[in-house]
Amino acid sequence: MRVIVRFSLDGDDGTLTVALGNILSRYGIARTAATATYEGNIQAGVLASAMEEFWDCAAQHQGATIDHFWMYSDNPANN
C-alpha cells in the first residue's frame, strides 16, 4: 500500500524531527519534500510497526510536541 505521512512539531530543536524522520525512513517511508512529508509503498504490518515506534518516540521526547499529524494510505494498484 502507498502511505503518505506529514507532521509538524512545536518547540523542537531539531532532534525530534530527525528522530521521527529516521524511524519513518527505516521502515521505507522516505522524505519527499522540503517539509516533513514522507511517502513509501509498504505492507500494512510494516506501517503498524512504524507508527507504533513513531508515537512511542514522540511520547518519550521532552520539550517538543506534535502540532499536527496527517497520514493517508491507499492501494493504487486496486484503483
| Contact partners, residue 50, CB within 8 Å, separation at least 6 | 23, 24, 26, 27, 29, 42
pLDDT at 54: 97
pLDDT of residue 78: 62
Label residue 2 by pLDDT band (50, 70, 90): very high
Q: What ranges do the domains of the chain cover?
A: 2-74
Q: So what's the pLDDT on residue 33?
A: 79
Architecture of domain 2-74: 2-Layer Sandwich (3.30)
pLDDT the model gives residue 75? 85
Q: Per-residue pLDDT for 79 more than 60?
A: no
Instruction: Give residue-wise pLDDT tens across range 12-64.
Output: 999 999 999 999 999 999 998 778 899 999 999 999 999 999 999 999 998 89
